Amino acid sequence: MPNQTTNISIIEEPNVIDDYLLDIIGNEFKFDHEKGLSEWFKNSVDAYIRLGNPDSKQNVILRFTDGIRNGARFECIDFAGMSELDIQKAFKRWGDPEAAKRGLNKRVYGGHGNGGKFYMRQMFDSSYFVTYKNGYLNIFGFNKNKRYGFAEGFQNLKKGPGEALKIAEINKISFPDDLKEAVLSGKKGFTVVKGIGPANMKNVIRLDRLLRKFKNHPQARRILGRIKVWYVYNNSELSLMKPEELNALPEFEKPVYIEIPGTLPIEEENKTISVDMANNKYEAGRLILRTSEEALGRGTRFADLNRIDIVGEIGVIASYQLSELGVTTFPQASFVYGECECPILEDPDLDAVKNDRSKLVEANPRAKALLDWIRERVEELSYKIAEFENAAQETERKRISLAFNEYLNRWKDKFMKKVLAEIFRSGNEGAGSSDNGKIHRGELMFPENGFSFSYPAAEILLNESEIITLKAGSPEPIPIGTVISLKSSNPLVEIEEAKLVIKSDNLKIDKEGKSIAVLNFYVIGKKAGEEGKLTAQAGNLLTEMDLRVIEGAGGKERTKKPKSPTVLLSGFDSDPLGLAPGGTVVLTERDHLVYQRYQDVQNGIYWINTASSIAKSLLDKYGDNSVRWRDYLFQRYVDIFVKEAIYELYKRDPEGFRPELIDAEILGMLVSKIHSRAVEDLDKFFFDDEFEPASEERNKSN
């Protein structure tokens, strides 16, 4: 008995498909109008491509009309046109991947020939197109029953161009003269796709939103950049439409190009497998990431652009918002967008492109691997942006602290020298004390012959203003008001003032009740090793002292120390001496609150330690602009005053350098003077939360 099964041969018949299938597929499209308009728009562009029109010769007009009850209308107009044959052979066919090509070997945007038709069918009360080509006019569309067909009496109707424009209701549009001329002369046809009663906006069209979303739609945006597209609303003039240009994020202006690796891993059933992302037929793709200065996050004007478009052979074959890719780690991702070219996705053997070209086929392993890989790259770029932003915030933070410090520096410069001089004038030659009969150095003694320097000889530091004290018995033998002239025998030992006048303010009383004028003046030694004789003369009285210029610690490296030290912030200010690795002095919490290297001593530099535990806590908890932080800085300035005063005191009067003196003169009088001055000058600095030293104030002060 022969095998009956092997002998059976099926005779092929055309598919019988119920229209309900179109509803099922149509519902999957889930059209929004910008997406639907993009489909019409692409169809127009494809029509031009089929005609061989270059980009510059492709013109599309979108017309929006409302104000008629339930009669709002969208229209998409191109100047290509279709014949009845085009409609019969291509437009009428559902699901034909070659439909857009119409048998030509040209790359076109249209995919499966469904998008535009489904939009017409699903999203309007009624929809049809009027098309005119080579003197024949056709009207084809969908009725309210969602069935398509030619309009009665308008199938392959011979008409003149002028009448055809009138029937299509576009004769009153003031479109460019050359276009109108081309249509009227029969050189060009046209197609007007019309949708009447659009879903969700049958009466009033929300035009701004619609246009904005259309311009940013993945299927439209790239094409809009190349061809001329106008829109017209009711009877307005034509307006040219261009995609919104995004300015790149500063410092991230250059697009990031990343080649897609030859293989990518994916997890499948707890196993990692490799997926080929290129082969002999399809070359490796690439991801291009761009940044936007304006955030593209949800709710923003350009939220739709916060996505990666997957670009196929021509046009976008899928598009993913970054949130859909699972990019969630860094909020900086809202400044990122881009596109990915990956030719192998269109490999028919493993086609990853879906019918509506909105997303790739989820189950396609290449699509899965690629999307994971894109997510990681976007995260990487977002991380870089985050790092940059943190650095920028850090810079801004530092700027605030530096401004406060600069403010305090200027404040200190105004009076530091003066206040120290006041302290030493009053303290150094003060009343002194006696201990078991021993006379301390600080004790004021009547000068020999009624007129003498405090010391017969002294060493002065190179390039420093050094105080010299002269004592004169006054009013006897030298009356108040007497002018004392000063001279140096060596020009390299300079006296800052050539004359002194005895005033009553200068008078002090010694232990025996004698009145003595104590006069201070400054000398500067200009060259180490030089010696000079200072002479003071008051009438017939003359006194002398010897000075020798010596180098301080640092010897030859010593440079001129500024009159007031410069206070800098560790880790914030750059090292003016260029010694610190990395350009700034970085301290630890173990270093002193006020720090100096030996080179700083030579150059009159102090560093406030911003890494001390208290500094760090204040900055972390209250910030650089806080009053508490400002107070910390101020306290360090007080420390610096105290340090300067202590060393000065010891230098001037080592024998009289006693704890009581430091307590009384420095911690008592000096600190009190600094605080009084601060209250007068720094009110806003201490008490105004919003205070920031103004730049104009800085300029004025400079």
Partner 1 sequence: MKQKSAINLSKAHKLLLVIYEMSRKEKRSLRYEDIVVAAFKKNPEDFHLRGYDEYPDSGDLVHKPLYDFRKKGLLEANNKVFSLTDMGFSFAERLVEALKGKEVVPSDRLSRFAEKEISRIESTEGFKFFLEEDFPKLTDTDFYMYMGTTPRTPRNDFIGRMESVNNAVKELENKENLTPVWKKVLEYHGFITNKFKDIIKHFNPNKNA
Smaller CB separation from partner 1, 595 or 629: 595
Q: What tokens does 533 get? A: 């004789």
Residue 170, Cβ neighbours under 10 Å: how many?
Answer: 20
Q: Where are the beta strands (DSSP E) in 244-403?
A: 256-259, 263-268, 271-276, 286-291, 307-311, 316-321, 336-341
Smaller CB separation from partner 1, 146 or 440: 440
Cis status of the peptide bond prior to 477, with omega within 30 of 0: yes
Q: How far is CA 388 from CA 258, 377, 378, 379, in A?
A: 20, 17, 15, 14
Smaller CB separation from partner 1, 246 or 601: 601
Smaller CB separation from partner 1, 89 or 417: 417
- Given the rule CB under 8 A, which residues bind partner 1? 441, 455, 457-459, 552-555, 557, 587-588, 590-592, 595-598, 600-601, 647, 650-655, 657
Smaller CB separation from partner 1, 587 or 619: 587
Residue closest to 635 by CA, chosen among 593, 690, 601: 593
Smaller CB separation from partner 1, 457 or 483: 457
The type of residue at 359 is K
Q: Report the alpha-carbon distance of residue 223 to residue 357 in Å, rounded.
A: 15
Smaller CB separation from partner 1, 293 or 448: 448
Q: How far is CA 263 from CA 256, 260, 278, 650, in A?
A: 20, 8, 7, 76
- Minimum CB separation of residue 542 from partner 1 in Å reads 21
- Minimum CB separation of residue 443 from partner 1 in Å reads 13
Cis status of the peptide bond prior to 475, with omega within 30 of 0: yes
Q: Rg of the Cα trace of the chain?
A: 45
Smaller CB separation from partner 1, 133 or 652: 652
- Minimum CB separation of residue 370 from partner 1 in Å reads 46
- Minimum CB separation of residue 591 from partner 1 in Å reads 5
- Minimum CB separation of residue 598 from partner 1 in Å reads 4
- Minimum CB separation of residue 320 from partner 1 in Å reads 48
- Minimum CB separation of residue 685 from partner 1 in Å reads 29
Q: Which residues contact 297 (CB under 8 A, 6 or more apart)?
A: 303, 306, 331, 334
- Which residue is listed with tokens 């048998």? 103
**Residue 699 burial class via C-beta count within 10 angstroms: exposed 0-12, middle 13-18, buried 19 and up:** exposed
Smaller CB separation from partner 1, 238 or 611: 611
Smaller CB separation from partner 1, 365 or 552: 552
- Minimum CB separation of residue 342 from partner 1 in Å reads 49
Give SS3 for 670: helix
- Minimum CB separation of residue 518 from partner 1 in Å reads 18
Q: Report the alpha-carbon distance of residue 500 to residue 497 in Å, rounded.
A: 7
- Minimum CB separation of residue 693 from partner 1 in Å reads 30
Residue closest to 636 by CA, chosen among 576, 692, 589, 594: 594
Smaller CB separation from partner 1, 458 or 492: 458
- Minimum CB separation of residue 559 from partner 1 in Å reads 14
- Minimum CB separation of residue 654 from partner 1 in Å reads 4
Give SS3 for 237: coil
Residue closest to 298 by CA, chosen among 338, 339, 336, 334: 334
Residue 123, Cβ neighbours under 10 Å: how many?
Answer: 22
Smaller CB separation from partner 1, 557 or 683: 557
DSSP 665-696: IIIIIIHHHHHHHHHHH-HHHHH-TT----HH
Q: Which residues contact 286 (CB under 8 A, 6 or more apart)?
A: 257, 258, 259, 260, 340, 341
Laid out side by side, the sheet with 566-569 consists of: 566-569, 605-608, 594-595
Q: Is residue 27 a contact partner of residue 104, using CB atoms and an 8 Å limit? A: no
